[in-house]
Chain A
Amino acid sequence: MLPTVLAGLVLVGCGATPAPAAPVVPAALATTAPATATAVAASDPGNVAPPARIRLPSLGVDTAVVAVGVDARGEMAVPEDVREAGWYRFGPAPGSAAGSSVVSGHVDDKVQGRGAFYRLVDLAVGDPVVVTTAAGADLAFRVSAVRRIPKSTLPVDELFARDGPPHLTLVTCGGAFDRALGSYRDNVVVTAVPVP
């Protein structure tokens, strides 16, 4: 009886290989004064305060957001602490004029337990999302789509688009846990649009 119960629960979880967080690089003055060449209006992450917290009131989630980059394999770095969410600092910050602001959090972990985005898949269209910036501003979003996408077909260029209408993209893992890969098979992708 007991082993059967455990096996059933294992399939519900989500996991992946370690992803070390990339160091945050401070903005520095370029003494050579490089001219910015192409004038495409992709949002400049430098113009908007980075996110500090994210709240998902319908799930009772209120968690810290840290800036992350990429890991050694070229995937998005996700905070080691599953209670935190990571914002992809090379893309637009929430509140930017254009593009997708990506915030990711671990779904769970054997050692650390449930992650900040454990119940992300339970969000419903219309649910509120609130991002608080490092400058203290609250930015209101509303969920417009909840998808579960196999990792093998994840549309990364759509998720990480730096142009197009501004929106928030929340990502965690989902689906079955593949023991051989040490990873969940799917990503849960939630899209949220600014509330006017």
Chain B
Amino acid sequence: MRRRFLLAGAGLVAGLLAALSPMSVASAASTATVYVVHGIPKTPVDVYVDGQRAIDDFQPGTSQGPVELPAGPHKVAIFAADAADGSGSPVLSADADLPEGANVTLVAHLDADGKPTVTPFKNDVAKVAAGQARLVVRHTAAAPAVDVLAGGKPVIQGLTNPNEKELTVPAGSVSAAVAAAGSTDPVIGPANVDLKEGTATFVQAIGSLQDKSLGLVSFTISNLHSSPSGVPSGAPSGAPYEPGPPAWVLVLGVAGLAGVLFVARQRVRSER
């Protein structure tokens, strides 16, 4: 089954090229960051980049990366792991044109009909607001549209293969599950996912619903945190401390009041 995918022609990579100007000066050190996800069940593979073996015996349901590759065009070929090295016909092959500074995931997976394919995704590595975490869910499984549940409630709805949706959530542990769209009956999970502050977690749903081989492959990119915008360490009631007047003020005040009363009484008497 020989397939040839021109990733450079894919809409996503075209989008990358638009976002990251290809005309920018490329130094010798210019690179792109690449993650690879293997989501095709029961098929360990070897991955070759430009004729060199990059990943040996890559197991289904796992990810590799990050790998820094020189920016520019690359030939990616995926062979069955037990094939003689680099010989014969690849299971999948693709031409990937990586823009300088790009951060991408190449997912080898089943399409909605169960056929092997490769889909490139741009990884959103923008800074995350203080206290928050980013969750990106990718539907790369042979399954119909799904909802993603957090704590039993849908947070992503109607996600289809091969698409992704992104959420920004308060950092912490969340009980996540995947269910058929419109359902709350999990087909994957629920599983506790620890979304650490200032990170982006990329979750790929993989496998096949029909073959009961659905699963998740995830990886996390750290150091995307932002600083809090300030430190409001003033009075929580909205007004500052107002200590009572010093004792000598009270003494003077009482003495003064007594004096006034005394004078007043004297006047009252004298007016009689």
Seen from chain A, the residues whose Cβ lies within 8 Å of a Cβ on chain B are 1-2, 5-6, 9-10, 13-19, 22, 25-38, 40, 42, 69-71, 73-76, 78, 80, 82, 88, 90, 102, 104-115, 117-118, 151, 154, 156-157, 159-160, 162, 171-173, 177, 182-184, 187
Contact = CB atoms under 8 A, between A and B. Distances in A.
Contact of A75 (B216, B230, B252): B230
A61 B197 CA distance: 31
A112 B230 contact: no
B211 interface: no
Contacts, number: 214
Interface residues on B, range: 35 or more
A24 B172 CA distance: 9
A74 to B, nearest CB: 5
A37 B63 CA distance: 11
A70 B228 contact: yes
A70 B131 contact: yes
A111 B235 CA distance: 9
B241 A183 contact: no
A15 B240 CA distance: 5
A75 B229 contact: yes
A15 B231 contact: no
Nearest to B232: A16
B222 A38 contact: yes
Contacts of A162: 223, 225
A69 B170 CA distance: 10
A88 B194 CA distance: 19
B118 to A, nearest CB: 20
Among B227, B232, B233, chain A packs the most CB atoms within 10 A around the CB of B233
Given A157-B227, A171-B231, A37 B237 contact: no
